[in-house]
Amino acid sequence: MDRKARLPTLDSMRAIAALGVICWHFRGYFFAEPMKIVLEPFYRNGGVMVDFFFVLSGFVLARAYWNDDRRYDVISNLRQRIARLYPLHFVMLLAVVAIQWLAPADNIILNKILQNNNAYNFILNLVLMQTAGFRQGGASFNHPSWSVSTEFLVNIAFMLVITLRRRIAIFAALMLAILFIVPLNHQGIFSLGVVFGFVPGPVARTCIGFFIGTLTYRAYAKHLESRIDKYPAIANGLFVALCLVLSWRLYTRTMNGHNSDILVMFIGFPCLIVLALRSSWAAKYLSIRPMIFLGERSYSIYLVHFPILLSGMVLLDRFKLSIDPASPLVLMSVFLVVIGVATITYRYIELPGKRLLTPRKAAPIAIEATTKASA
């Protein structure tokens, strides 16, 4: 399989998860759940989409970088990750600063959301260190970018690990994948505390998902990637069964990051990715152009949706407008605006930023994944 080729099935899965994040934050900020019967898994458990993206990111970056052509060029690889992550992050950081300046000073809800937006935290956000254990207070500025910060830190570790001899690199990845599972299972995968006295919980959480994703790709490449299924019905059946089990789990239980939740996130999600690539039904029904279109723009969807929700709250307050957030039309309008703006930022910020910052000789990255969900 050509490692430069995109994986449309995974693009579509990213699209679904990215739209789920919008539902998660819509509920959190507007206290409403339109179309609850259909979207309940996202309203209830949208936070775990970030863990799906950590696993997916580890899988696709191992596919792109963990080979003899690229794994030794650490500086070039990191430049590509910066080119992928930073331009849009920087623009959205400035966008939230502008929104904060325009926000009414007496709005209690907005002030609570923006309460940690100070000069110190701005500098941390500027250098992608806002979740490295140095920030003052809780989330600040473009809240979902916390996972961009943690993933970039883990990406640095990944780029160093893959320069090691193959068996040592696999062992190191395995250690980084399992090192934090026990303490985070004890305090909760969504914990904002520290692990082992110095590692921030979100960084540990990212480490688990990302390196499980890299190991999943190594196993997939060795045993399945080049194999033709003799019994395709088995892969189809397993894929459908796993989708039903995960959907039922997300629909009926609010996950808190303990015990069996760990199994769902760090066994269920890797299996879902592998089965999606092996299932002909997944290839047929997920590889449709609208979903691929959204998947390509999923990073933009992830980073622009919070400023758009924040802008909506500012406009409603400033002009004293009244809407019914429980109306499906309101949620659909949010979807359309987010997708529209994300399409613009993808074309005029993401793509030009990558071309500007990526080394000319660097090979293109297939399905460039990054975290797009926020707890």
Kindly report, residue by residue over 68-89, the tens digit of the pLDDT.
Answer: 888 899 999 999 999 999 999 9
pLDDT band at 276 (very low <50, low <70, confident <90, very high): very high
Mean pLDDT value across residues 203-214: 94
The answer on pLDDT for 340 being more than 50 is yes
pLDDT of residue 367: 46
Please say if the pLDDT value at position 368 is more than 70: no
Cβ atoms 20, 46 nearer than 8 A: yes
The reported pLDDT for the residue numbered 40 is 93
More confident residue, 335 or 28: 335
The per-residue pLDDT for 5 is 66
pLDDT of residue 100: 86
Higher pLDDT, 133 or 107: 133
pLDDT of the residue at 182: 86
pLDDT at 82: 93
> Which of 318 and 276 is assigned the larger pLDDT?
276
Q: Which of 137-146, 185-194, 255-264 has the lowest mean pLDDT?
A: 255-264
- Give the pLDDT confidence score for residue 26 in this predicted structure: 92
Residue 244 has pLDDT above 50, yes or no: yes
Q: How far apart are the first and last CA of the chain?
A: 34
Q: What is the pLDDT of residues 165-175, one digit of tens each?
A: 999 999 999 99
Distance, in Å, from the CA atom of 200 to the CA atom of 134, rounded to the nearest integer, reads 9
Max Cα–Cα distance, the chain, nearest Å = 65
For 13-59, write each residue's pLDDT tens digit. 999 999 999 999 999 888 899 999 999 999 999 989 999 999 999 99
Phi, psi angles (nearest 5°) of residue 194: -105, 155
Helix 74-102 with 298-318: angle, nearest 10 deg: 10
- The mean pLDDT value for 127-137 works out to 87
Share of the chain above pLDDT 90, in %: 58
| Statement: residue 370 has pLDDT above 80 | no
Q: Which two tokens mark 87?
A: 């331009």
Return the structure tokens found at 44.
């209830």
Residue 152, burial from CB neighbour count under 10 angstroms (0-12, 13-18, 19+): buried
The Cα–Cα gap between 50 and 97 comes to 24
- Residue 135 has phi, psi (to 5 degrees) of -70, 160
> Could you tell me the CA-to-CA distances from 251 to 24, 117, 220 in Å, in that order?
13, 34, 29
In contact, 65 and 72? CB cutoff 8 Å: no
Distance of alpha carbon 274 from alpha carbon 187, whole angstroms: 29
Which stretch of 64-73, 91-100, 222-231, 330-339 has the lowest confidence by average pLDDT? Answer: 222-231
Q: Mean pLDDT, the chain, as a whole number? A: 88
Q: In which band, very low, low, confident or very high, does the pLDDT at 158 lie, cut at 50, 70 and 90?
A: very high
pLDDT band at 375 (very low <50, low <70, confident <90, very high): very low
What does the pLDDT average to over 244-269? Answer: 85
- pLDDT on residue 93: 95
Average pLDDT over every residue of 184-212:
88
Separation of alpha carbons 266 and 262, rounded Å: 6
- Looking at residue 95, its pLDDT comes to 94
**What pLDDT is recorded for position 173?**
93
CA quadruple 356, 70, 145, 12: dihedral, nearest 10? 100
Above 70 in pLDDT, residue 260? yes
Closest CA to 330 of 308, 307, 298, 299: 308
Quote the pLDDT of residue 264. 83
The residue among 369 and 182 whose pLDDT is bigger is 182
Q: What is the pLDDT of residue 111?
A: 72
